[in-house]
Structure 1
Amino acid sequence: MADRALLLDLGGTVFLSGVELLGSLGAAHPAAAAVAARRGPLGTEPDPLWDTMIAEEITERDYWRRRSEEVGAALGRPGWPLQEFMHLLWGLSDDMVRPSAAAIVADARAAGIAVGALTNDLRAFHGDGAMSSHPLLSQLDVLVDGSDTGVLKPDPRAYAIAVERIGHPAEEIVFVDDMPWNIVPAKAAGMIALELDLSDPSEVFDRARAELGLAPAP
């Protein structure tokens, strides 16, 4: 279905989620183990801050800012900049890209399907770090970063910008994101919006492949 396009969130969708990477933080930095145990739906301890974010009482940026402060305090780094925390967190992984995400990007491009990303925080969270310069980003036809546009999901204008830049009507765009509040406005815009489940992240890419007319992953 080359008349369709693929639009992906980055952090948590293409790249591993911060809550997944927090699972490695406690082992690497035992002083932060108690903080790392509170990591959304994947933690061994309740995470009230995550629940507050899911209830849309705070933003995703607020969540990670608080986590950065907690980890910084545990490691004896008060006032730790958020980007330094993110660089530490993503540095815990040898390959920060989900294999199923890399595969669908490659297969979509081979099939002549436009591939773009709609993300809120690439530059704000990662600056010039490894995620911002990852080779996979060079495979995208379009990269819309709310850090640059100043318009963040779930604002409907963010989706309108992505639609304009990817050059396909909303109803032809298969959009994948890991946050429920980003899925709702994508559907309202007319996109085929699919939510990634952090407990089974590969499953959503199977559904996206079906929507795009791509063969199932091996």
Structure 2
Amino acid sequence: MNPPSALVLDFGGVVTRTLFETHRLSEAALGLPPGSLTWRGPFAPETDVLWRRMQDDEISERDYWMERTREVGRLVGEEWSAMETFVRRARGADPEAIVRPEAHAAIRVAHAAGIRLAVLSNELDLFYGADFRQRLPLLSLFDPIVDATHTGILKPDPRAYAAVADALGVPASSCVFVDDQARNVAGAGRAGMRAVHFEVRDPHRSFSEALAHFGLALDLPESVAERTDNA
């Protein structure tokens, strides 16, 4: 097998911290009492029934987050019908604050080594808003960005992986794909990509595994703590 030449990342959960990790920040931004947000997804699946239904393919990822959006909107006394409302209201106007330090370091290492960078997301613009890309300079290093908000093709549909490989101009086998959803990782594997399951509870190990495919190392001490307010 030829060495890979492109690193393809999911966005939410991989490049950025998940909403599960920022409940305290969200509560403060929304004016909610501490402890109002209790769902923890992969950090406590035994207490998140809706998350388990998503993992069992009973509902889609979009279904999960739309239910959480409506739920949080009701907590603040409003009717929310767009994930963009939730994300912007909960996370404020500073996109840099939600980027994982491990992601920032790994992306810089790959870019400096001449590795092509791409995003393959189910909901980048849907969740964050159309102007988010301009407000996060790190995204300027990615070309292309393939977003199901516009294509309508959701991972793990094989066409999603083919679309990003075609946009990169490389075969699927030249791509290392990273995602925090097991079914999307499996889909990438079926599409012929080298796939890494991103463990949101251990981002350093996950990014190290991805970079190792290129013979690169993550230039960030393991002692660097993940910026989370849900310890």
TM over 0.5: yes
1:91 aligns with 2:100: no
**Map of 2:124 onto structure 1:** 122
In structure 1, C-alpha distance between the alignment counterparts of 2:168 and 2:27, rounded to whole Å: 40
| Paired residues of 1:32 and 1:71 also in contact (CA < 8 A) | no
The 1:155–1:144 alpha-carbon spacing in structure 2 relative to 1, beyond 3 Å, is same
The 1:198–1:132 alpha-carbon spacing in structure 2 relative to 1, beyond 3 Å, is farther
Q: Shift of the alpha carbon at 1:98?
A: 1.0
Considering only aligned residues, what root-mean-square deviation do their CA atoms show, in Å? 2.3
Deviations 1:26-53 (A, max 9, x none): 3554646555111213259811011111
Structure 1 spans left out of the alignment, 5+ residues: none
The 1:91–1:48 alpha-carbon spacing in structure 2 relative to 1, beyond 3 Å, is same
In structure 2, C-alpha distance between the alignment counterparts of 1:160 and 1:105, rounded to whole Å: 22
The 1:168–1:32 alpha-carbon spacing in structure 2 relative to 1, beyond 3 Å, is farther
**Map of 2:11 onto structure 1:** 10
**Map of 1:37 onto structure 2:** 38
In structure 2, C-alpha distance between the alignment counterparts of 1:80 and 1:170, rounded to whole Å: 36
Q: SS where residue 185 of structure 1 aligns?
A: helix
Structure 2 spans left out of the alignment, 5+ residues: 221-231
| Paired residues of 2:66 and 2:81 also in contact (CA < 8 A) | no
For residue 181 of structure 2, the aligned residue among 179, 182, 186 is 179
| Paired residues of 1:25 and 1:32 also in contact (CA < 8 A) | no
Q: SS where residue 68 of structure 2 aligns?
A: helix
Q: Shift of the alpha carbon at 1:59?
A: 0.8
How many residues are treated as equivalent by the alignment?
218
The 1:89–1:27 alpha-carbon spacing in structure 2 relative to 1, beyond 3 Å, is closer
Identity over aligned pairs, percent: 40
**Map of 2:56 onto structure 1:** 55
1:82 aligns with 2:83: yes
In structure 1, C-alpha distance between the alignment counterparts of 2:101 and 2:199, rounded to whole Å: 15
Deviations 1:74-130 (A, max 9, x none): 111124532111112232876111111111111111111111110011111122354
Task: Tell me the TM-score normalised to structure 1 length.
Answer: 0.90
| Paired residues of 2:176 and 2:210 also in contact (CA < 8 A) | yes
Q: SS where residue 202 of structure 1 aligns?
A: helix
In structure 2, C-alpha distance between the alignment counterparts of 1:191 and 1:71, rounded to whole Å: 37
Task: Tell me the TM-score normalised to structure 2 length.
Answer: 0.85
